[in-house]
Structure 1
Amino acid sequence: MMLHAYGMGGTIRTVVNQANAMVALGHEVEIVSVVRRREAPQFAIDPRISLVTLVDQRDGRRPDSFGRKAWRRLRGKIVPRGEFAADYFTERVEWAAMEYVSGLRDGVLVTTRPALNLISARRTPRSVIRVAQEHMNLSAYPETIRREIARHYGRFDCVAVLTRTNQAEYRRLLPGTPVVQIPNAVHKADQEHSRQVNPVVVAAGRLVPQKGFDLLIPAFAQVVAERPEWRLRIFGTGPRRTQLAGLIEQHGLGEHVSLRGRTERLDQELADASVYALSSRFEGLPMVMIEAMTHALPVAAFDCPTGPRDVLTDGVDGLLVPPRDVDGLAAALKRLVADRDLRLRMGLAAAETSRAYAPEVVMPRWDDLFSRLAEGDRPGARFEPSL
């Protein structure tokens, strides 16, 4: 169950990949999209998968009832303030999600963000195996969310997180609750490798404060001052496009930095580049970074919570610098762009690291977890699916 199966983004892509892998293994799979705002999914969904929409918003969102403010104070209101997607959860949307999970009687329900996890914890019948999938580190959530997680996630049969760091966080908060670490999988591990011939740095993600492109642009200005032939291409859409365009102009980088918007050929863009930059203020598990590593791209990244350090080994397959350290990020980028041999060496190591996130490595862990839960295996907090 996911918020918007028809949208773009790393979480949507990885959940669709997971569903495709599960149906390929012989499972009966249904993707539940709480809302729908596009005609067709942006990622390929196996035709054997049933795709269900709860609230169709292609003609726009319907206004809530007159009693919305009162409803927020009632017991029916579950999604707390501070949920990153709280604006999606109108009265109609939240009730539709609650009604759907309440009507389930068996099978495994996997929910994929705090709002849906909390709805599942409080409304899904106990006859259903309930798995909460968390794509973000616990410390990134505001106190309103962490408090509800601590209060309700103990009802789940299992909580699945992406990194060992996340696992430790959730185990401290949820003693006695099974918390397993299974990373997201890339869609394909064997990708075309960068030939390290184009002076191009790539970054990708939603144009929102979390992704830190406002920090990357001034860092790249320092690169251009020494290496004017290099270019930065930022892929993604979002509400901060105008502000970022202004920042590019402010630094005089109109010929050096471009906001490329959404692309359907990101794999080729990565293969054509020479460096990947991760400037996020926080992450769950940075999947586009790992996708870049499948193309043998070395990475310059902020050591933000969480994800980069769980994947990268500093000095081996990338360079880690302190969070939000613009000068440090600039220095890492300058080191990489100045040394092609270093990029080739780190790129090969990055491609090797990325193999741990191949579908054929990750997906059997989900299959094993679901099988063991279906057999009634609900062990304590030290449970790990077999590899």
Structure 2
Amino acid sequence: MSADRVDLMIVIHSLRGGGAERVAVDLAAGWQARGCRVMIVTQTDDSQDAYPLPDGVRRSALGLAGDSTGPLGALWGNLRRIQALRRLVRRHRPAIVLGMMTRGSVLAVLAARGRARVIATEHTHPPGQSLPMFWQRLRRWAYPRADAVVALTRGTAQWLDEHLPGVHAQVIPNAVRWPLADGEPVLEPPRVPGRRRLLAVGRLHPVKGFDGLLHAFSQLAPLFPDWDLTILGEGAQRGALEALRDELGLAERVSLPGRVGNMAAWYGASDLYVLSSRAEGLSNTLIEAMACGLPCVATDCDTGPREIIREGLDGVLVRPADDPDALAAGLTMLMADADLRARLADRAADARDRFGTMRIMALWEQVFHGRSV
């Protein structure tokens, strides 16, 4: 067998941060540990990677990232990406090509169909996805031609089945890495005696609903003077969120430290986790928080939280999703009741098993070998 051959080729735009990018690295590590030869193919190089590759996992950077100018430029750029990926497939002859997210999945089908087993994956819920019509049409063509299509949630799988004729999507949630591994940057959480922390984590992006969370917390701050809110993450909305925080008079009660790599320490130093998203694929951070034994309040957006939280048993779901008053009411229930927080936290830790790596890897193995999950 050729020494240049790989068993699994994972196609993704970059490793700059995000749920799908972390899943790509975790899958690469898991299969490499099982003796497989794994390659991750990205459009970008490693200069801005948020997730380092495990030893033994190869990286091929196509160097074809960047915005295109106009429809013709976009078409030419994608043709170059397909050609470059096709050359890699011919050279390394992977048994499986795994596309991550819509664009990576479409490129994988176009480049590797007929040469390898091709698996497409959706990591967001399409109705809440901002995807150009060009890519929507390509997805409609490509996904029925993949050997398998995988979604993170039952809701997304149902949408794919209903809107893409010929697709029968399977559901594999993200795994939680337990114990959580530390990475860079390391920032120790402040621990102030007598203060309680409400924690939120995610990209500083409108879809995460942090503006609504700030409005909800502004109602709660006078009622719970010993609670503070920390929002971890980075993104384009930082300036707007900081301005809103200050406008609401919360500068002393709300902090936005940025992105941190030592998440276990922050979960451990918090009393309650909140997910305020308007839309979610699944939510790695919600699973992590529960695995760390944190009681959680989450908005009941179309997909994601309702397939993680077992309502009334290990967390609270808030309806409607984009309503600061409803979010404030859900948070009040737990912020005011330490016994309820403790009861929910005890069962939240079940997430370590429900979303454990061994269970999730077994589901992927079935798909890789052509069996239904």
Matched with 1:111 is 99
Aligned partner of residue 225 in structure 2, secondary structure: coil
1:207 aligns with 2:217: no
Answer yes or no: is the 8 Å Cα contact 1:163–1:310 preserved in 2: yes
Aligned partner of 1:250 in structure 2 is 247
Specify the alignment match of 2:286 in structure 1: 289
1:345 is aligned to 343
**1:11 match:** 20
How does the TM-score come out when normalised to structure 2?
A: 0.86
Q: What secondary structure, in the 3-state scheme, does the structure 1 residue paired with 2:174 have?
A: coil
Deviations 1:100-145 (A, max 9, x none): 3322143211111212222223333412111101101122235725
Counterpart of 1:23? Answer: 32
Secondary structure of the corresponding residue to residue 106 of structure 2? helix
Residue of structure 2 equivalent to 1:194: none
1:135 and 2:99 aligned? no
- Closer/same/farther in 2, CA of residues 37 and 18 from structure 1, 3 Å limit: closer
User: Within 5 A, what are the aligned runs for 1:161-200?
Assistant: 161-188=151-178, 199-200=196-197
Q: Does the 8 Å contact 1:138/1:146 carry over to 2?
A: no
Displacement after TM superposition at 1:343 (Å): 0.7
SS at match of 1:38: helix
Q: Deviations over 1:216-261 (max 9, x none)?
A: 0010111112001101100111110000001100110011111110
**Taking every aligned residue pair, what percent have the same amino acid on both sides?**
31
Query: What one-letter code is carried by the residue in structure 2 that aligns with 1:188?
Result: W
Secondary structure of 1:187's aligned partner? coil
Matched residue type, 2:35? G
Deviates more, 1:41-50 or 1:322-331: 41-50
1:34 pairs with 2:43: yes
State the alpha-carbon separation in 2 of the partners of residues 272 and 10 from structure 1. 23
Instruction: Could you tell me which runs of 5 or more consecutive residues in structure 2 were left unpaired when the two chains were aligned.
Output: 1-10, 182-193
- C-alpha separation in 2, matches of 1:214 and 1:239: 13
* 1:102 equivalent in alignment to 2:86: yes
Counterpart AA for 1:210: V
Offset from partner CA, 1:22-51 (integer Å, 9 cap, x none): 111111110112112626x43242211101
Aligned to 2:256, the other structure's residue is in SS state strand
Letter of the 2:140 partner, please give it.
Answer: A
Deviations 1:168-220, CA, capped at 9 Å, x for gaps: 221222344342111111111589xxxxx851011111111111101000101
Partner residue in 2 for 1:361: 359
Deviation at 1:351, TM superposition (A): 0.9
Q: Quick one: distance in 2 between partners of 1:294 and 1:266?
A: 12
Q: Secondary structure at the match of 1:35?
A: coil
**CA spacing shift, 1:289–1:142, aligned 2, 3 Å:** same
Q: How many residues align?
A: 345
| 1:225 paired to 2:215 | no
Shift of 1:96: 4.4
| Range with greater deviation from structure 2 (105-114 or 142-151) | 142-151
Matched, 1:334 2:332: yes
Structure 2 residue aligned with 1:299: 296
Residue segments in structure 1 that go unaligned for 5+ positions in a row = 78-90, 192-196, 378-382
Cα distance in 1, alignment partners of residues 153 and 169 from structure 2? 11
Deviation at 1:52, TM superposition (A): 1.4
Does structure 1 retain, via aligned residues, the 8 Å contact 2:282–2:304? Answer: yes
Letter in 2 for 1:30: M
Task: Give yes or no for contact 1:157–1:178 (8 Å, CA) kept in 2.
Answer: no
Task: Tell me what 2:4 maps to.
Answer: none
Asked if 1:152 is matched to 2:142, the reply is: yes
- The letter for the 1-side match of 2:31 is M
Partner of 1:262: 259
SS where residue 13 of structure 2 aligns? coil
Superposed CA offset, 1:148-187 (max 9, x none): 4223211100001111121222122234434211111111
Q: Counterparts of 1:149 and 1:141 in 2: how far apart (Å)?
A: 13
Amino acid at match of 1:232: L
* Paired residues of 1:167 and 1:179 also in contact (CA < 8 A): yes
Instruction: Please give the TM-score of this superposition, normalised by the length of structure 1.
Output: 0.83
Change (3 A) 1:141 1:42: closer
The answer to whether the 8 A contact 1:131-1:156 is kept is yes
> Alignment RMSD, CA only?
2.3
Q: What do the CA deviations read for 1:289-322 (whole angstroms, capped 9, x no partner)?
A: 1101111111111100210001112222111111
Measured in 2, the distance between the counterparts of 1:70 and 1:238 equals 28
